[in-house]
Amino acid sequence: MRLKNLPTALLLVAGFTTAQAQAARPHSGWSVSAVVAHNSFNGATRDTVTIPGTEVSFLPASHFGMGASVDRHLGRWRLGFGLGYLSTHLLAKTGTAELRDKTEDWYRLRAEMLLSYTLLPLSHGALALGAGPAIDGWSTGSFDGRIVAGGQLRLSLDLDITGSLALVNQASIGWSGSPFTENDTPAGVERKTLRTLELGAGLRVRL
């Protein structure tokens, strides 16, 4: 390279570096998002009485749900408030068999708050880890249903599509009280913590 071309080359490198730094800079402002997620459940009840020698669990069956949230971005931090809806059925399972009762629907309405931190800013997205509380309201035809409190951890990966639109990919694990009340479960049936694994994808729009 000739020395007379050195200033031009330095300007090009500086411009490229600045553009990359600006692209990777965490977003500040508001955003809204919508996600469709598959929810898998474990826990809820433990029955060792109905079938002697066999442990039976009654719990919500795995199914898809949807959610929407409004988020405030402050550099690497993000505080979000969301609402979710899920419709599923009752599932009875043992260690070797499962039976899904499709005669009636179960419904879950969720309100959640999530505080997230960007672990890895990317030139076209970001990887973030979040945690926060959630309130679930369960209802169905045969059971009283109940409102339970819980919490969750979420790992999310945003991938920019355009300047204001991003693809959201997320994985969450959560814990909450059993959706059954004492009146829903006969004597000898133990209510247990409901554990949830959620895998979802959707869109986020920066405002």
- The pLDDT of residue 48 is 63
Tokens of 134: 């959630």
| Domain 27-206, CATH | 2.40.160.20
- The pLDDT of residue 177 is 87
Element (H, E) at 119: strand 98-122
pTM above 0.85, yes or no: no
- The pLDDT of residue 58 is 77
- The pLDDT of residue 19 is 40
Element (H, E) at 109: strand 98-122
CB of 136 closer than 8 Å to CB of 148: yes
Give the CA distances from residue 89 to residues 27, 100, 158, in Å, rounded to whole numbers and listed in that order. 40, 7, 32
- In sequence order, what are the beta bridge partners of 180? none
Mean pLDDT for each 10-residue chunk of the chain (207 residues)?
A: 49 43 60 96 72 71 95 94 93 76 87 96 91 92 79 96 93 90 68 90 95
Tokens of 8: 């031009």
Helices vs strands, H then E, count in the chain: 1, 9
How many other C-beta atoms lie within 10 A of the C-beta of residue 148? 19
Residues 6+ apart with CB under 8 A from 43: 57, 59, 178, 192, 193, 194, 195
